[in-house]
């Protein structure tokens, strides 16, 4: 089907024009004023913005943790993403120790097939013996160009320094990118053991036992490893000024260090963990929410570009039955929070409308730069002739109230319950097909395609 979108204000990361956009065969065919083309459908976007679909490079759909899984699968999670204006996600496949990495990729590709929007996968590496190093090159060839390593979660995910170094070194040859969850596991283990011994078992001790110092120390150490390996590195979910200081210092020294933060670090704080009736458990995610003053520091990092990307780390567990597993002991609360649906709205309202970032920077943070870093640009992340017609018609005047009773995520709470925001995705197109229109759903399970990504362009 061909579509002509007329009279909208087209916003990219670098410009703003009043233009019409014509779409044919899944891609943008023409952009210009008063386009005189035939189309099966005409959409009038007067008074609205047209932005490239959001790119969320950090999600955890159907993630098994112990005996439970995150409550959104690839269908419900990507549907919720689309309602919020995100048209591409990158989730994770996880190495199974001793098995080929391609085996893990194939398994995860089966689950991801129900996605309603396009998706890529990062590969989580827990261990990299000699004989498996070459598999990283094969993954890059197959479009899995980013590898995630953890310096925490010793029982499940933590990679040792040797694995981190080997993975970093290999990426200097194959063009891949190492992404790191940085927290000092040894410090955290000691603090958790002491807290539990002292009977400190309420949700607030999640933050007390994972201090900013633990994150910042690990960030510094990984920067040093990446620097020895002469490899770029990308830090996920940066939450505090101490980490940002190390990132800024490395960037000022010319090192290829990239970093993201997430809305939960801009809009929630350590005080939320102390909410009564165990409600604090809703804010148990890792790294934990920090002291409130960090929020403005993170905004400064966004403004000076030491933070390049805002992703969600969407990792939803229901409050009832799932978060409640840790009622008697915070260490049993599954870590993670929902967020895939409201990233664009929160950043538009508190970022653009409150004067912290420009419209162009908003597009850059939520779409263009993540697409560039993770090898999707210019197919995704921009509005240009030939790029995928992943487009959002954004109504800047729509008022929404966030609530778990109306959101589309399959989870029984929201971090932002009752928050009133201005601006919403009104019509969402994925590769030229309308999947959301005025709150109605037109997408299909399995429509999303696996994205074979190319080594990064930034």
Question: From the list 56, 313, 364, 388, which residue makes contact with ligand URP (rule: CB under 6 A)?
Answer: 313
Q: Which stretch binds Zn ion (CB under 5 A): 39-47, 158-166, 311-319, 439-447?
A: 311-319
Q: Are 287 and 240 in contact (CB under 8 A)?
A: yes
Q: Which of 54, 336, 375, 448 binds ligand URP (CB under 6 A)?
A: 336
Two structure tokens written together for 53: 């679909």
CB nearer ligand URP, residue 135 or residue 260: 260
CB 139 within 8 A of CB 194: no
Compose the 269-308 pattern: x for residues touching Zn ion by CB under 5 A, - for all others. Answer: ----------------------------------------
Residue 60 touching ligand URP (CB under 6 A): yes
212 vs 421, which CB is nearer to ligand URP?
A: 212
Q: How far is the CB of 180 from ligand URP (least distance, A)?
A: 11
Contact between 347 and 267 under an 8 Å Cβ cutoff? The reply is no
71 binds ligand URP (CB under 6 A): no
Q: Is 122 in the site for Zn ion (CB under 5 A)?
A: no
Per residue, the 3-state secondary structure of 364-385, as one string, reads HHHHHHHHHHCCCCCCCCCCCC
Q: Are 157 and 65 in contact (CB under 8 A)?
A: no
**Nearest-angstrom CA–CA distance, 324 and 333:** 7
Could you say which DSSP state residue 386 is in?
A: T
184 near Zn ion, judged by CB under 5 A: no
Q: Let me know how long the chain is.
A: 458
C-alpha to C-alpha distance for 224 and 30, rounded to whole angstroms: 47
Give the one entry of Zn ion, ligand URP, none that residue 335 binds, where binding means its C-beta sits below a cut-off of 5 to 8 angstroms depending on kind: ligand URP
Binding-site partner at residue 285 among Zn ion, ligand URP, none, CB < 5 to 8 Å by type: ligand URP
Region from 120-128, 173-181, 364-372, 411-419 binding Zn ion, contact rule CB under 5 A: 173-181
Structure tokens that stand for 271 in this block = 């005080």
CA distance 332 to 250: 36
Distance of closest approach, residue 315 Cβ to ligand URP, in angstroms: 4
Question: Which CB atom, from 21 or from 409, has the smaller least distance to ligand URP?
Answer: 409
* By the rule CB under 5 A, 29 interacts with Zn ion: no
- Asked if 313 interacts with Zn ion (CB under 5 A), we say yes
Contact status: 315 vs ligand URP (CB under 6 A)? yes
Q: How far is the CB of 232 from ligand URP (least distance, A)?
A: 20
Among 180, 260, 290, residue whose Cα is nearest residue 224 = 180
Tokens for 115?
């996605």
* Closest distance to Zn ion from the beta carbon of 61 (Å): 11
What character string, x for contact with ligand URP (CB under 6 A) and - otherwise, covers 151-190? ------------------------------x---------
Alpha helices in 198-252 (DSSP H): 204-208, 212-229, 241-252
Whichever of 308 and 313 has its CB closer to ligand URP, that residue is: 313
Identify the CA nearest to 352 among candidates 339, 341, 366.
366
**Total of chain residues touching ligand URP, rule CB under 6 A:** 8
By CB under 6 A, residue 286 contacts ligand URP: yes
Residue 91 is a binding residue for ligand URP (CB under 6 A) = no
Q: What is the DSSP string of 264-306?
A: HHHH--GGGGG-TTTGGGGG--SSPP--TTHHHHHHHHHHTTS
Could you tell me what percentage of the chain is helix, strand and coil, using 3-state DSSP and rounding each to the nearest 5? Answer: 35, 25, 40
**Residue 323 touching ligand URP (CB under 6 A):** no
Tokens of 443: 């997408």
Q: Does 181 bind Zn ion (CB under 5 A)?
A: yes
**Is 335 an interacting residue with respect to ligand URP (CB under 6 A)?**
yes
Residue whose CB is less far from Zn ion, 218 or 434 = 218
Cis amide leading into 75 (omega within 30): no
Q: How far is the CB of 241 from ligand URP (least distance, A)?
A: 19
Which position's Cβ is nearest Zn ion?
181
Is residue 357 a contact partner of residue 303, using CB atoms and an 8 Å limit?
A: yes
Q: Are 413 and 282 in contact (CB under 8 A)?
A: yes
Residues in contact with ligand URP by CB under 6 A are: 60, 181, 285-286, 313, 315, 335-336
Residues in contact with Zn ion by CB under 5 A are: 181, 313
């Amino acid at each position: 089907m061909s579509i002509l979108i007329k009279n909208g204000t087209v916003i990219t990361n670098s410009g703003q024009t009043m233009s019409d956009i014509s779409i044919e065969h899944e891609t943008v065919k023409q952009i210009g004023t008063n386009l005189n083309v035939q189309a099966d459908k005409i959409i009038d976007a007067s008074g609205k913005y047209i932005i490239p679909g959001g790119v969320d490079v950090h999600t955890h759909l159907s993630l098994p943790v112990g005996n439970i899984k995150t409550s959104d699968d690839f269908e419900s999670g990507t549907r919720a993403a689309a309602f919020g204006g995100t048209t591409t996600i990158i989730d994770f496949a996880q190495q199974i120790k001793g098995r080929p990495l391609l085996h893990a990729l194939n398994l995860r590709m089966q689950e991801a097939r129900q996605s309603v929007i396009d998706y890529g996968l990062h590969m989580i590496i827990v261990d990299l013996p000699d004989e498996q190093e070459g598999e990283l090159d094969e993954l890059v060839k197959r479009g899995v160009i980013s590898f995630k390593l953890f310096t925490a979660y010793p029982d499940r995910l933590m990679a040792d320094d040797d694995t981190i170094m080997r993975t970093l070194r290999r990426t200097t040859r194959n063009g891949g990118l190492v992404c790191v969850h940085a927290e000092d596991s040894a410090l955290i283990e000691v603090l958790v053991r002491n807290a539990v011994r002292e009977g400190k078992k309420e949700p607030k001790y999640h933050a007390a036992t994972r201090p900013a110092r633990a994150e910042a120390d690990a960030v510094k150490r990984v920067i040093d490893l990446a620097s020895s390996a002469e490899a770029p590195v990308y830090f996920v979910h940066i939450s505090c000024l101490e980490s940002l200081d190390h990132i800024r210092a490395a960037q000022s020294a010319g090192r290829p260090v990239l970093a993201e933060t997430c809305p939960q670090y801009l809009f929630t704080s350590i005080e939320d963990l102390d909410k009564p009736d165990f409600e604090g458990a809703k804010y148990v995610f890792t790294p934990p929410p920090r002291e409130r003053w960090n929020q403005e520091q993170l905004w400064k990092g966004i403004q000076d570009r030491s933070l390049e990307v805002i992703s969600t780390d969407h990792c939803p567990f229901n409050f009832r039955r799932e978060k409640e597993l840790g009622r008697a002991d915070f260490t049993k609360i599954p870590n993670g929070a929902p967020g895939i649906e409201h990233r664009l709205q929160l950043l538009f309202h508190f970022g653009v409308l409150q004067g912290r970032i420009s419209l162009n920077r908003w597009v850059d943070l939520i779409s263009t730069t993540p697409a560039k870093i993770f090898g999707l640009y210019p197919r995704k992340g921009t509005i240009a002739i030939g790029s995928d017609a992943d487009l959002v018609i954004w109504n800047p005047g729509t008022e929404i109230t966030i609530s778990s009773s109306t959101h589309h995520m399959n989870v029984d709470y929201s971090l932002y319950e009752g928050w009133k925001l201005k601006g919403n995705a009104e019509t969402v197109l994925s590769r030229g097909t309308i999947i959301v229109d005025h709150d109605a759903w037109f997408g299909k399970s399995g429509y999303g395609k696996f994205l074979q990504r190319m080594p990064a362009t930034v």
